[in-house]
């Protein structure tokens, strides 16, 4: 039977090939430059709608077997695409018209499109092919280091979205950009499959973003999803990968020998007794009898060796003369790095995009994205405990017989204040989020006057449901019974937007005019509920998950642990855009938007922009041979930011607890002061830029300088009489910077091409007004952050360390007051703080700005190489001028009976000349040395190999025959190397404060792409 099947398949294959060749003719020709008439090397010549194609040789020649009624598509970097019908011809020569790469490519802007040539604003585009190089559930991770002025801070939590900042921070409120997916406003794009994205367009300056009004202050990210093409044969594509995630730069903590040495050096009798208790409980080590017979590497006990990640997408694209379609389904799965707990993310995506030509003047279409995700979130406190757990404590302790259901080690049994063991958090918690999203739209587009005036009406809909359930299991730690509990919350979001606008395109002579005008209505509604119950009966367990409901709680819902919330905002907006150019040489651009809503007392506001450009290379006097295109551009614009909480306009009611007859009772407190937030915040930005192409369009360059002023910013104003604060629109910030990107692409031969490029960006963030206040404090008092006029927002603030006191004479000659020295009991091994005002005392007047969590300089560069069927690409990125507050080391202020990292343990001051960075072990415990200082604030600069990808393409027409699938096999390494000095897992910390940051892993994948 097997042989018959093989014969049948072979016969069918031969018949298929015979039919294919019988219906084909051989076409050959030469491709040249229309202007220079020089042959073009490496031109792609493809049969339209298929993978059947050829590449021109060093003489510009090609040969290709094609159907006699096919169309040939000629495409080449720097030239206009050409489509030519074969019409049964055997020789087809082609003279291609030069075109500057990307300058005539269409870029999505607000309520329309423009070509790169026409742009006067700062807009960056990232193609879908570049996005899919990164194995991730979050598309914005894929642009890290690729767009100047856009900072991406990743998260290692499975399924978590990265932090995105465009040109700095200008508010105390929400700093995330607005995302617009095919016209729909969303807060993030975690529902999108990266394979469904055609392009991401980032509107960086106010002139580009202002047409989005009060939602555009933090920048706008426009996402266009993939569409089918009219008269395109059906194309079926599978793209999938499987990979592993590996924790990088795992922090080395003190082992038992280092820890015991450190404890002995502190001289703390209590801590030394804890070590003695460990000797009594666990015995002495055979290798070193001076330490207990336990040496736990807690990170090794908590971290998985690797965690799988996988994605599978099947897409269908095509179209006929009256319609086109793009349909896809995707499954994505990502496991987390935590052991012994559910810590993963799964998502199923369904998407369809349909367009129909109802008549020659009317088009209708729809776009639907459905996403259903489930996320299990490990307890973040695991990372906190893992850092602090002492190595002389075992994971499991057989002598802890009172512990149930598992006999975990408990540091309290040795005398420590906390249990320390992170396994209590791993085993006895289960946190799940179910996330369902539906995002879609329907549109009608009518050509009212052919080739002149069109009208488009688009209804956009967004539905989201977040269902969260956190379960705490009952257990006994060996000393304490811990109650079970269940917390639940549900939040639902309904957004609808109805856009109606006219578009006028008129060309008369050398004048070109595009005008857009319209009206938008938006309704944003959300509601939610939360509650918690404890002492669940029967106790929750993994074997009876069907009982994980608060209704099982015999005591009911906890006092003060339930409530609901909601809001509804209405917006109506009027917008307009005018784009004019004369002979594609002189460019003018302007937008206007008026937003009205019910969020603030000021119901409406206007936002206006203007931009201009001059294409110098089109001037008759310009004759620089190696410059192909040169454009100067500039713009000014206004934006709004309504991403702040409104004022209630009446006395504030807040929840609190009070003791009545020794009973804790929940209640409300009325405060007679309230916020004065009358309107949204405003942004004004000026941008000056340059766009150029050189050396026959091989080199592209773009440069921008911007000044971005945020005004009317909501800021807390301190009320000294009541020792409270209210918010008012009185603060201001300024962000300035320079951005540069350059890319080179060249073809050496028909089989070899290469590319390389890079980008840099600077950022200077400063506070310019705080409503008359000299400064504004933020963060915890012990780890102060402060906004000061002329300094960055929420900068780290404390003492500057000038070294370590090495001897008594060093102290006495320090210039410090003798009485101060005695009061602080200064000793060799203590910090030598800088006395900024030279008054002989170290006090609040000596505190200075120690750094900012906003990087001053970011960069990225890339290389690419294509040889025959092999493709290689690599991306690199990094940042400098960025600080991280190492709160992990700083926690010794609150709890000093914990472990310390190995670098600190090995390099503590142990006598004159041994260290000028770290204090002594005893000094580490002194309050004087625990003050906020740059000892805790570390340099966060890093360099990273961001992505390396190697692919091999098997083209059926080359290896087997026509109409055989094109297969691409690829290997990807994401973040395989990050170089930094910071004492932590990763230098990527969104707020700059590292207390318990989830590790960001390296990812290695093997992928397959098959196109039919």
Residue 19's pLDDT is what? 38
Residue 439 is assigned to a structural domain of this protein:
no
In the chain, % of residues over pLDDT 90: 72
Residue 146 is assigned to a structural domain of this protein:
yes
* CATH number of the domain encompassing residue 90: 2.60.40.1120
Residue 571 is assigned to a structural domain of this protein:
no
Statement to judge: residues 189 and 213 lie in one domain: yes
Residue 649's pLDDT is what? 54
Statement to judge: residues 56 and 136 lie in one domain: no
581-623 pLDDT, tens digit per residue, is: 999 899 999 999 999 888 877 778 899 999 999 999 999 999 9
Statement to judge: residues 147 and 69 lie in one domain: no
Residue 7's pLDDT is what? 38
Residue 2's pLDDT is what? 39
191-230 pLDDT, tens digit per residue, is: 999 999 999 999 999 998 989 988 888 999 999 999 998 8
- Phi, psi at 11, each rounded to 5°: -65, -45
Statement to judge: residues 172 and 220 lie in one domain: yes
Comparing CA positions, the residue from 1007, 988, 1005, 1009 lying closest to residue 997 is 988
How many structural domains is the chain composed of?
A: 2
Comparing CA positions, the residue from 846, 786, 787 lying closest to residue 815 is 846
Mean pLDDT within 243-259: 96
pLDDT greater than 60 at residue 18: no
Residue 40 is assigned to a structural domain of this protein:
yes
Mean pLDDT within 659-684: 74
pLDDT greater than 50 at residue 59: yes
pLDDT greater than 90 at residue 829: yes
12-26, 202-216, 952-966 — which one is most confidently predicted on average? 202-216
Residue 13's pLDDT is what? 37
416-471 pLDDT, tens digit per residue, is: 999 999 999 999 999 999 999 999 999 999 999 998 999 999 999 999 999 999 99
- Cα angle for residues 74, 77, 82 (degrees, 5° grid): 25
Residue 290, SS3? Answer: coil
Residue 555 is assigned to a structural domain of this protein:
no
**Edge-to-edge strand ranges of the sheet holding 937-939:** 937-939, 883-886, 993-994
Residue 456's pLDDT is what? 96
555-582 pLDDT, tens digit per residue, is: 678 877 889 999 899 999 999 999 999 9
* CATH number of the domain encompassing residue 112: 2.170.130.10
pLDDT greater than 80 at residue 21: no
80-89 pLDDT, tens digit per residue, is: 788 899 988 9
Q: How does the average pLDDT of the chain come out, rounded? A: 90
Residue 133 CA to residue 1007 CA, distance in Å, equals 10
Contact present, 873 and 754 (Cβ < 8 Å): no
Residue spans of beta strands (DSSP E) within 144-189: 150-153, 163-166, 178-181, 184-186
pLDDT greater than 50 at residue 11: no
Residue spans of beta strands (DSSP E) within 846-918: 848-851, 857-867, 870-880, 883-886
Contacts with 82 (C-beta within 8 Å, 6 or more apart), sequence order:
73, 74, 75, 94, 96, 97
- Cα angle for residues 441, 442, 448 (degrees, 5° grid): 135
Residue 76's pLDDT is what? 82
Residue 143, SS3? Answer: helix
Lowest-pLDDT range of 77-86, 216-225, 763-772, 825-834: 77-86
Is the peptide bond between 49 and the residue preceding it cis, with omega within 30 degrees of 0?
A: no
Statement to judge: residues 112 and 204 lie in one domain: yes
pLDDT greater than 90 at residue 54: no
By DSSP bridging, strand 178-181 and strand 220-225 are parallel
Which tops the pLDDT comparison, 364 or 598? 364
Contact present, 985 and 882 (Cβ < 8 Å): no
pLDDT greater than 70 at residue 985: yes
Statement to judge: residues 115 and 222 lie in one domain: yes
Q: Which domain holds residue 119?
A: 106-230
Statement to judge: residues 112 and 225 lie in one domain: yes
pLDDT greater than 50 at residue 10: no
Residue 9 is assigned to a structural domain of this protein:
yes
Statement to judge: residues 78 and 117 lie in one domain: no
pLDDT greater than 50 at residue 357: yes
Statement to judge: residues 150 and 58 lie in one domain: no
Residue 13 is assigned to a structural domain of this protein:
yes
Domain end marker among 230, 257, 290: 230
Which tops the pLDDT comparison, 963 or 109? 109
Residue 103's pLDDT is what? 62
Confidence of residue 811 (pLDDT cuts 50, 70, 90): very high
Residue 720 CA to residue 915 CA, distance in Å, equals 44
DSSP letter at 160 equals P
Confidence of residue 648 (pLDDT cuts 50, 70, 90): low
Contact present, 386 and 891 (Cβ < 8 Å): no
Residue 99's pLDDT is what? 61
Sign of the four-CA dihedral 825, 829, 830, 836: positive
Lowest-pLDDT range of 135-144, 518-527, 539-548, 957-966: 957-966
Residue 8 is assigned to a structural domain of this protein:
yes
Residue 663's pLDDT is what? 72
Domain end marker among 53, 68, 96: 96
Residue 9's pLDDT is what? 35
Statement to judge: residues 71 and 163 lie in one domain: no
pLDDT greater than 90 at residue 653: no
Alpha-carbon torsion, ordered 172, 173, 179, 185, to 10 deg: -150
Contact present, 472 and 429 (Cβ < 8 Å): yes
Residue 654's pLDDT is what? 63
Contacts with 914 (C-beta within 8 Å, 6 or more apart), sequence order:
none
Contact present, 558 and 533 (Cβ < 8 Å): yes
Domain end marker among 78, 96, 114: 96
pLDDT greater than 50 at residue 1: no
258-269 pLDDT, tens digit per residue, is: 999 999 999 999
pLDDT greater than 60 at residue 987: yes
Statement to judge: residues 167 and 223 lie in one domain: yes
Residue 844 CA to residue 846 CA, distance in Å, equals 5
Statement to judge: residues 75 and 113 lie in one domain: no
Residue 75 CA to residue 54 CA, distance in Å, equals 11
Lowest-pLDDT range of 66-75, 298-307, 354-363, 712-721: 712-721
Residue 808's pLDDT is what? 95
């Amino acid at each position: 039977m097997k042989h018959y099947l093989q014969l049948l398949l072979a016969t069918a294959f031969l018949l298929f090939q015979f039919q294919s060749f019988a219906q084909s003719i051989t076409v050959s020709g030469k491709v040249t430059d229309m202007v220079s008439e020089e042959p073009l090397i490496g031109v792609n010549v493809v049969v339209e709608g298929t993978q059947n194609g050829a590449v021109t040789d060093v003489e510009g020649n090609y040969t290709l077997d094609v159907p006699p009624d096919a169309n040939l598509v000629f495409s080449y970097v720097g030239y206009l695409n050409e489509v030519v019908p074969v019409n049964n011809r055997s020789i087809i020569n082609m003279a291609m018209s030069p075109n500057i790469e990307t300058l005539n490519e269409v870029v999505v802007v607000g309520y329309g499109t423009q070509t790169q040539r026409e742009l006067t604003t700062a807009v960056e585009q990232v193609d879908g092919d570049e996005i899919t190089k990164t194995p991730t559930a979050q598309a914005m991770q894929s642009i890290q280091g690729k767009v100047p002025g856009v900072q991406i801070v990743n998260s290692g939590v499975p399924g978590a979205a990265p932090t995105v900042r465009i040109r700095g921070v200008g508010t105390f409120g929400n700093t995330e950009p607005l995302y617009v997916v095919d016209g729909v406003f969303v807060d993030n794009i975690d529902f999108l499959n990266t394979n469904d994205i055609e392009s991401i367009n980032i509107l960086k300056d106010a002139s580009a973003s202002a047409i989005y009004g009060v939602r555009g202050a933090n920048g706008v990210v426009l996402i266009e999803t993939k569409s089918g093409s009219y008269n395109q044969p059906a194309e079926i594509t599978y793209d999938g990968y499987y990979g592993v995630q590996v924790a990088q730069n795992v922090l080395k903590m003190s082992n038992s020998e280092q820890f015991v040495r450190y404890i002995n050096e502190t001289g703390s009798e209590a801590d030394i007794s804890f070590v003695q208790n460990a000797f009594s409980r666990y015995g002495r080590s055979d290798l070193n009898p001076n330490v207990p017979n336990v040496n736990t590497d807690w990170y090794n006990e908590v971290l998985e060796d690797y965690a799988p990640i996988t994605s599978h997408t099947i897409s269908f694209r095509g179209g006929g003369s009256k319609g086109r379609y793009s349909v896809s389904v995707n499954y994505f799965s990502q496991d987390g790095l935590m052991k012994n707990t559910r810590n993963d993310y799964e998502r199923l995506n369904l998407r369809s995009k349909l367009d129909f030509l109802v008549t020659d003047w009317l088009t209708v279409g729809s776009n639907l994205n459905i996403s259903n995700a489930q996320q299990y979130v490990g307890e973040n406190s695991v990372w906190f405990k893992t850092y602090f757990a002492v190595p002389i404590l075992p994971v499991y302790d057989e002598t802890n017989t009172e512990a149930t259901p598992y006999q975990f080690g408990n540091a309290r049994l040795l005398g420590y204040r906390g249990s320390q063991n992170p396994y209590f958090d791993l085993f006895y918690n289960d946190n799940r989020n179910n996330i369902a999203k539906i995002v879609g739209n329907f549109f009608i587009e009518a050509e009212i006057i052919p080739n002149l005036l069109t009208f488009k009406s688009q209804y956009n809909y967004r539905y989201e449901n977040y269902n969260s359930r956190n379960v705490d299991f009952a257990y006994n730690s060996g000393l304490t019974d811990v109650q079970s509990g269940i917390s639940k919350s549900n939040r639902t979001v309904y957004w609808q937007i109805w856009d109606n606008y006219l578009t006028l395109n008129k060309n008369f002579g050398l004048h070109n005019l595009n005008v857009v005008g319209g009206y938008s209505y938006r309704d944003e509604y959300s509601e939610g509920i939360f509650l918690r119950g404890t002492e669940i009966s029967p106790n929750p367990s993994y074997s009876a998950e069907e009982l994980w409901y608060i209704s099982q709680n015999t005591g009911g819902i906890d006092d003060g642990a339930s409530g609901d919330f909601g809001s509804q905002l209405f917006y109506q907006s009027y917008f307009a855009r005018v784009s004019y150019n004369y002979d594609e040489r002189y460019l003018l651009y302007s937008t206007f938007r008026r937003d009205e809503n019910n969020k603030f007392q000021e119901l409406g506001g206007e936002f206006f922009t203007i931009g201009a450009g001059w294409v110098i290379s089109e001037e008759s006097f310009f004759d620089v041979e190696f410059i192909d295109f040169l454009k100067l551009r500039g713009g000014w614009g206004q934006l709004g930011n309504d991403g702040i909480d409104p004022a209630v306009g009446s006395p504030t009611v807040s929840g609190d607890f009070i003791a009545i007859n020794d009973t804790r009772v929940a209640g409300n407190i009325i405060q007679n002061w309230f916020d004065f937030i009358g309107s949204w915040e405003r942004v004004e930005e000026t941008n000056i830029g340059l766009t150029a192409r050189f050396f026959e369009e091989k080199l592209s360059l773009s440069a921008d300088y911007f000044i971005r002023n945020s005004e009317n910013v909501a800021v807390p104003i301190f009320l000294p009489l009541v020792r409270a604060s209210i918010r008012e629109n009185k603060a201001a910030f300024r962000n300035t910077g320079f951005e540069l990107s350059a890319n080179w692409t060249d073809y050496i031969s028909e089989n070899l091409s290469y590319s390389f490029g890079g980008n840099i960006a600077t950022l200077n963030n400063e506070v310019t007004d705080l409503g008359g206040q000299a400064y504004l404090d933020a963060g915890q008092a012990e780890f102060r952050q402060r906004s000061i006029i002329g300094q960055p927002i929420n900068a780290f603030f404390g003492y500057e360390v000038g070294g370590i006191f090495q001897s008594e004479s060093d102290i006495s000659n320090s210039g410090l007051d003798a009485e101060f020295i005695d009061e602080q009991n200064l000793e060799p091994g203590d910090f030598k703080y800088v006395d900024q005002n030279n008054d002989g005392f170290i006090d609040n007047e000596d505190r200075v700005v120690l750094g900012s969590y906003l990087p001053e300089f970011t960069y990225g560069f890339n290389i690419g190489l294509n040889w025959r069927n092999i493709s290689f690409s690599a991306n690199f990125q990094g940042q400098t001028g960025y600080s991280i507050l190492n709160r992990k080391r700083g926690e010794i202020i609150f709890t000093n009976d914990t472990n310390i990292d190995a670098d600190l343990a090995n390099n503590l001051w142990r006598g004159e000349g041994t260290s000028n960075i770290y204090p002594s072990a005893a000094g580490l415990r002194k309050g004087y040395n625990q003050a906020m200082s740059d000892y805790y604030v570390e340099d966060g600069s890093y360099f990273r190999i961001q992505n390396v990808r190697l692919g091999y393409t098997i083209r059926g027409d080359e290896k087997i025959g026509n109409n055989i699938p094109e297969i691409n096999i690829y290997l990807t390494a994401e973040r395989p190397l990050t170089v930094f000095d910071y004492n932590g897992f990763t230098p990527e910390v969104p707020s700059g404060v590292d207390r318990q940051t989830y590790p960001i892993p390296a990812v290695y994948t093997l992928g397959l792409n098959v196109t039919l």
